[in-house]
Amino acid sequence: MADRPRRRRTRRALLAALVTFAVAVPVSGAARPAAVPAPAPTALGQLRDAAPGALEKRYAVSRQGIRAAGRMAAGHGDLKRVASLRAMAAPGRQFLSFDGRDGGRSVEVVGELSSARRIAVLVPGAGVGLDAYWRLRRDATALQGELGEGGAVVAWLGYRTPATVSPAALTSGRADGAAPGLRTLVDGLRAVRPAARISLLCHSYGSVICARSAPGTSADALVLYGSPGVGSDDAAALRTGARVWAGRGGGDWIARVPHVRVRVPFVATVGFGTDPVAEEFGAEVFDAGDGGHSDYLLRGSRSLTNLARIVAGAEPLGASR
C-alpha cells in the first residue's frame, strides 16, 4: 500500500508541472513572428491523376504560387521568408501544393512520384514552418537518398505547427485539425500509385497527427519516432490495419516528458499518455540509435537506415520486438 500514496504524489507533481507549463508559457506562442502576407493559392483539386503530365502541371502551378508569395514577403520586408521561398521555388523542386498564408502549408515530393514503388510521407512535429523549411527538406532528401531508385519522399507541412515550447504542443488541438488533410493526402497517393508501399513517418508532435488519421488509413506502415505519446493507451486503440512501429534515440530529450494525460478544467486534456516505445503500448520497437530529438534522419545514422528499411518493407536492424 505504501506505493499508492507515492504514485498519487507523483501524479500530482506531474499535473502541477503540466498545468504550469500550459498556463505560464503562452508567451512563447506570442513570440512567433507575425504572419507574413501571401496570395490565395490556385485551386488544384484532389490528387488523383497518375499521369506524369498532371503531376508536372501541379508542380508548375505551385512554383508560381511560391514565387508570388515571395514577392509579397519582399514587399512586407521579411527577408528571411523571401530567402526560404526563393529556395523552395528553385528549378527541379516539386510541390504538389503550396499555400503561404497563416504560416504556410506545403507538400513537396523528393524523387519521382509517378514511378515510385515505395513512398514515405514525413509528418513533422513542432517548430517547423516556411522559415525553417530547409530542415524538413534536408531530412526528406537524406531519406530519399537512402531509399534509392523507386523511392519517393513526400514532405507534408500540412498544418500550422505549434511552437516547440507552447501550450499547443501539449494538447491535440492542432493534430485534430490536421488529421483530415493527412488522410486525404494518403488517399491521393494511393490513387496515383495503387501498388506502392506507403509509410507515414511521424516525428514528435507529428505522431499525434498520424494517430488521429490512422483509423481506416490506406498506409501500410505507421512509424512513430521521438514521440511524446499519441493520445491512445495502446496501438490497438489506433484502429488501423497499418503495421505500427515506434523508436526513440538514446539522446532524445522527449524521453523525459511525463507520459500522462490530465484533464485540466476549462482548458483541455494535457499530455499524450502511454509512451509508444513502452511494452504496454504494443508497437514494434526499432533501434533508433543514440541521436537526439532532431537527429533521426541524419545521414549515416542507425535511425535513418532503419526508417528506410521500414519504408522498403524490410525488417529494421536490431529490432527489439
- DSSP letters for 22-44: HHH-HHHHHTSPPPPP-PPPPP-
- What's the pLDDT band for 158 if we cut at 50, 70, 90? very high
Give the span between the Cα atoms of 69 and 124, in whole angstroms. Answer: 22
Asked if the model's pLDDT at residue 295 lies above 70, the reply is yes
**Confidence category of residue 30, pLDDT binned at 50, 70, 90:** very low
Per-residue pLDDT, 32 = 45
pLDDT at 170: 63
The rounded percent of the chain whose pLDDT value lies above 70 is 82
Instruction: Name the residue with higher pLDDT: 172 or 274.
Output: 274
SS3 content of the chain, % helix, strand, coil (to 5): 45, 15, 40
Q: Say how far apart CA 126 and CA 129 lie, in whole Å.
A: 9
pLDDT at 90 over 50: yes
Residue 148: predicted pLDDT: 96
Residue predicted with more confidence, 25 or 190: 190
Q: Encode pLDDT of 222-276 as tens digits.
A: 999 999 999 889 999 999 999 999 999 999 999 998 887 677 666 677 766 899 9
Average pLDDT score over the chain: 87
Reply yes or no on whether the pLDDT at 27 is more than 80: no
Whole-structure pTM value: 0.88
Contact between 181 and 157 (Cβ < 8 Å):
no
Quick one: pLDDT band at residue 74, thresholds 50, 70, 90? very high
Q: Is 29's pLDDT higher than 80?
A: no
Residue 21 has pLDDT above 50, yes or no: no
Q: Check residue 3 and give its pLDDT.
A: 52
**More confident call, 129 vs 142:** 142
Residue 25 pLDDT greater than 60, yes or no: no
When pLDDT is cut at 50, 70 and 90, the band that residue 168 belongs to is low
The CA distances from residue 103 to 98, 106, 129, 133, in Å, are 11, 10, 7, 11
